[in-house]
Amino acid sequence: MQFVRFGVVAGLLLSLVYLLLSLYLRSLRRERLENDWAGLDAAAQAQTERDAYVAAGLRRYERGLWRWLLLLVYVLPGLALAWLVYVVN
């Protein structure tokens, strides 16, 4: 029963870490896109709105590899725990 309780608490904590890490990485990406748009010349800025440029970049980011790499937040601690149980036993 204790192992189940540990699993539930660990799952909740890892989900919180996943959410916070996801929000942080998304905010970094948004800031980078805003800086990229500000670095465009005036003609390119006139063709696209800043919000549309950032939204399109964030859509590409959502389909990218970083979204999947964040799932390592769940996999790596599980593997570390399994290895630790194996070594101790």
**Amino acid of residue 24:** Y
Note the pLDDT of residue 41.
82
| C-alpha 26 chain-centroid distance | 7
DSSP helix/strand/coil, 78? helix
| Contacts for 74 with CB less than 8 Å, ≥ 6 apart | 14, 18
Per residue in 44-84, pLDDT (tens digit) is: 888 888 899 999 999 998 887 776 777 788 888 888 988 99
Per residue in 45-55, pLDDT (tens digit) is: 888 888 999 99
